[in-house]
Structure formats: C-alpha cells, structure tokens
Structure 1
C-alpha cells in the first residue's frame, strides 16, 4: 500500500472584489497534481513561492478540501475519512507558531500528548525518547521563549512525532535557521526516514533537498513540472556548464545582454549583501567566458568559477521552462465601434494566506 497517493488534485480559491458591484474571481492554486510516495520514502516537493506547495500539503493533511481529484494516505481518503488520516500523520511547519512560549518544552510536549490522545502510561517514555531524538535532553525544563530558532524547530518535530505518525509533513522546517542548527535538523530528518517514517518535505534549500530526498517533484504554476531522483533531475542540465561570476551592481540591462549571448541557456542571480553571484548556464564546452564577461562590460567583476551543474541549476531551468511555457501573448481584438474594449486581468497562482480549512 502506498503511503501517499495524489491523483489529479485541484484547488480553486474563490473571492469577491469591487464595490458596490462585487465581481467573483477564481484563483486556481493547484492544477491537477499527481504523484505517489512509497512507505518509508523521503519525498521532496520543491517550487517557488506561490507554486502550490503549501496548498497541496494542506489538502493531503485534511486542512483543505480538494476542489476536484482525490488523495489518500495509507488508503484513507482525505475528504471522506479525514479522522483516520489525521491519526496517521504529523505536520511540522516552519516559523514560530504552534508552541507556547511561556511553557517549558516538557510542558509543551505533555500538553500536545494529551491533545493527540497518547495514553498517560506511555507519555513519559515517549517524551523522553523524542527529546533525545531531537537533541533537547537536558534543556526540556527551560521555557521555550528562551530557545533559539533551531531549538524551536527541533521541538516542533518532537511535537509532530508524539503520536507515532506513519507520515510526517515537513513544510520548510529549516527556514530562518542558522547553518549549525540546519545541519542538526537534517540529521534528525534523515534518522526519521531511516527508522521507517514516511516524510514529505518542502524546502527552498536545494542542498538540503539534494542531501535528504529519495525523490523530488518540482511544482510551478500549480502543476508538477518534473519528478525523479536528484540525480535524474540534475541530468536534465547535464549538457551544460555553469559560470559563477562575482559581480557588483549587475542590473537587468547587463543581465539581458548576457542572456542574448549565443550559447547561454539561462541566467540567475543571488544577492549576498553588496555582492551578487551571477550564475550563467551555457552549452557544454562552449567556452563563453570572454563573450559573457564582455556582455557585463561596465560591471565590476570579482571571481569567475566554472563548475558542473547542481540540483539548484536544474531546478532553476525547470522553473524557467515552466514560466516560459505559460507566458503567451494575450489575444487582441479590434475595438467595437459601439463598445469599448474589455480588459482582462491575468490570474495569479499565488496562494492566499489565511484560507480557513
């Protein structure tokens, strides 16, 4: 039996805008998502902001009803049998919500153990096991308000595991966590998967996904654009080389000039304070150092490094291809002599915040 089955999942949000004549608008956040997760698998769901990741997870863990399509967790339908699904899942989300700051970690876990229906005779042993698993033994009597971000995230994971779920949803658990704490979190997540817990992970950190995930699905615009192992996704850009250029003040005009260089397949930037890292994907063996640097004429350049493509490069290529495929020019019609031309607003795939379950 599969741990998770998503079949043609769709979710449409409806809202009304305007006054006094309100207009009904629909936003399709998830558009026919299909994938399967095997028991014990560590499955990654990657995508840009507004791609539909969190909406998909909320449908799988019964917080949102699908507009259409079906989803099952160990054979239980999320819409028809939500109670059975909730007994078998845990949900850990990034951020500071979900814990009581003025209580100790121990009191938080005791409280949530009662909510999860953990038998009283098992609570002491189970809490001790989890504190040891997440590395908080010895700090459990301290108030959570004094915890670091990384310690809070580890306590979130302990809370989500109290009732021994078969499936654990981790929604960006390492967001805002320092590198040392993030390393500890990755070790904890890897240990969970090794012990047989099925984990569905969303993250914006490609190195984290590459290190942890057995398989990865990339979602963009509400659709799955690629699915496979990290190595198979990286093979999609195996015919490319990457130039990492340290630049100071490379504007859009300069980046557009780079994009127009023959043989350049993609350009992305990452800001690190006053320094930018401009990553240029080129055809394998094209040797485009000189024309790319010439296109950046007028921009102060630091180090230039050539390297093999990474999972991040593959992810960027997949998302850019998805964006290009959805960008089509709007049809134009000659204006009528009696009626002004109507205007249409493009629909957005951004997920609204605070949608009630």
Structure 2
C-alpha cells in the first residue's frame, strides 16, 4: 500500500509563561504522540474540538512547525531533513480571508502565485484555466477578489493551492464561516479533487461534511488520535445508545444538568437554533428515558419529540467526551 503521509509518535510541545505577579514557565503538549497513515489518492478527514491539535498536526506535516519528537514523512520525504522536497509536493489551504490580494483579480492572483510556485510560463495559462474551471470561477476570473463572496474566496484558495499540481493537499477548515449554499459548492469542489488522484487531508468541524467527503476519518482530542476508521466504523462508538431530541423553548442549565443525572442517561446538551432550542439526550439502548426527560421539562414549552439512531456526530461526542485535556507541565 503506497502511503502519501506517515507519522510516528509525532509530538509538539510549546513553552510559554503564565501568571502576572508570579510568572511561571510551563510546557503545553499540543500534540502527544500522533501515529497516522494516509494512503495515496485518499480523502482523509481529521476531526477534533478546538485546541485538540488538528492545526498543529497539519503544520507539523507541511513543514511549518518542527516536531519536538517523533517523525513524519510526506510522499516519502522527511518533513525535517528534506523540507524542500516536501514543500514541492504539497499544497496548503486554510480557512479565512488571508492569503489573497483583494485589489487584484482572481486571474492576477493566480498568475502571481504561479510565478512564486515556479510554474513554467508556458504552462501557466493552461493550468490556471483548468483550475478556474475546477473551482467554478470561470467567467468571474477578471473580477477583483474584494468583490468575491466568502465561498468564492475559499474556492480561489483551493485553486491557488493546486497551481503547482501538488501530490498532497492540506485543507484546514476550508468551509469555516461559509454559508450553506457556498459550503455545498465547496464540498463539490473538494470531492472533485479525489478524482484527479490528489491526496487530500481535510480538517473540519462539520460532521456532515466529513461523512460526505472522507474515505476515512481520524478523531483527535487531547493531542492524540482517539479513533480512526470510516464514518460507519466510527459510529460503532455510539452503539448501545439511543438518542432523544426534544424541541423546546426555555430549557435552563439546571434542567439539563438534572436530565444528565437521570438513570440510564449518558449525555445531555442543548443547542440554540433560531428562537428555539434542541435538547439532545443520549441514553443506554436498554433504557427508555423519554418519560423521565419530559417530566424534568415540566413547565417548558415543548415542540417535536424524536427518537433516532446515533449519527457520526453522536459517536464523535462520545469519543471526545471521554478524553482528558492536553497535559501542562511546569518547567523547572
């Protein structure tokens, strides 16, 4: 099996100071021994909460950070000792507005970055045209980027990252802050990359995006890989549970805590959606908690009550909730 990315016991420790009156030097383990294999041509997802180590892991793999310990190879080249060879073979796209020149057109942006990436002049016109077609910006390439929507900017970011025909493309939360319509177009663009044979490592907070796009998914939390497999394989982490969703208006934190303490309940949480709330309760499969939950919500205006099978998001929550935070050591 040909591998595009190999990581063994990858670790990154940051040294910083904490406190004002009595400052102390501390060490924070952002990544704590990550082992990872990504196959060539695979669309691989990396999921995790904020501060879990996703972006740090990507920066270690694409040579922007040096590992404190462990090793990693991309396309067979070591990320520390063969940095130049790695960079020739990778592209990096991150979420947000940085990395483009607003007062230039998309075409001029791509011409500029093509020069930086060393794309031969004779091949630039063909390559830029192919990429504009791939990301759906043909016809808007002469417009200034300052007039682009967030979704269009992100698609232009992807085109920029593909200019030098990288073997591996790192996509770090590319759909963050993008509206649903633009996010759908962005997912279509990313899915099209796999057809070209490009290896893609994607980080995201959106479970539906990961489930739709990724061949395999790793969940990182506390700086370590906690689970790895296909979306269906990861759902096994939520097996033995049933999920109850209750539309409500006015659920208090005290009520949520009381529901979480009910016999058979594994987890409970509330998400605010518009003017209402959705209470999600995960319980043991053999225990029907619906009547107890509704009694605990006495006095709360309720809407639809739904029981369903666990999803990838439920499995993700189950995995992440069982993980300790990254360690912090006080330096001598």
The TM tier, using the shorter chain, reads: over 0.9
- Provide runs of 4+ in structure 1 moved above 6 Å: none
User: For the residues of structure 2 that align with 1:62 and 1:321, how far apart are their CA atoms?
Assistant: 31
Q: Which residue of 2 aligns with 1:100?
A: 101
1:32 matched to 2:33? The reply is yes
**What TM-score results when the alignment is normalised by the length of structure 2?**
0.95
| 1:226 to partner: Cα distance | 0.7
User: For the residues of structure 2 that align with 1:224 and 1:261, how far apart are their CA atoms?
Assistant: 31
Q: Which residue of 1 aligns with 2:186?
A: 185
User: For the residues of structure 2 that align with 1:26 and 1:298, how far apart are their CA atoms?
Assistant: 49
Q: Which residue of 2 aligns with 1:176?
A: 177
| 1:285 to partner: Cα distance | 4.8
Q: Which residue of 1 aligns with 2:203?
A: 202
| 1:91 to partner: Cα distance | 0.3
Query: Hey, which of these two has a bigger chunk of strand by percent?
Result: 2
Residues 260, 79 of structure 1: alpha-carbon distance in 2 compared, 3 angstrom cutoff? same
Q: Which residue of 2 aligns with 1:57?
A: 58
User: For the residues of structure 1 that align with 2:77 and 2:208, how far apart are their CA atoms?
Assistant: 33
Q: Which range moved further: 296-305 or 32-41?
A: 296-305
| 1:267 to partner: Cα distance | 1.5
| 1:300 to partner: Cα distance | 2.4
Residues 82, 292 of structure 1: alpha-carbon distance in 2 compared, 3 angstrom cutoff? same
User: For the residues of structure 1 that align with 2:166 and 2:174, how far apart are their CA atoms?
Assistant: 17
RMSD, aligned α-carbons: 1.6
Q: Which residue of 2 aligns with 1:280?
A: 281
Q: Which residue of 1 aligns with 2:127?
A: 126
User: For the residues of structure 2 that align with 1:253 and 1:308, how far apart are their CA atoms?
Assistant: 26
Secondary structure of the structure 1 residue equivalent to 2:11: strand
Aligned positions, number: 328
Q: Which residue of 1 aligns with 2:17?
A: 16
Q: Which residue of 1 aligns with 2:159?
A: 158
Q: How does 1:62-77 map to 2 (within 5 A)?
A: 62-77=63-78
Q: Which residue of 1 aligns with 2:235?
A: 234
User: For the residues of structure 1 that align with 2:218 and 2:21, how far apart are their CA atoms?
Assistant: 43
Q: Which residue of 2 aligns with 1:347?
A: 328
Contact 2:256–2:270, Cα closer than 8 Å, also in 1: no
Report Cα offsets for 1:308-334 as digits up to 9, x if no partner.
1110010011111114xx69xxxxxxx
Report Cα offsets for 1:198-253 as digits up to 9, x if no partner.
00000000000011111111111111111111000012212211111112222221
User: For the residues of structure 1 that align with 2:248 and 2:20, how far apart are their CA atoms?
Assistant: 48
Unaligned runs of 5+ in 1: 328-345, 349-357
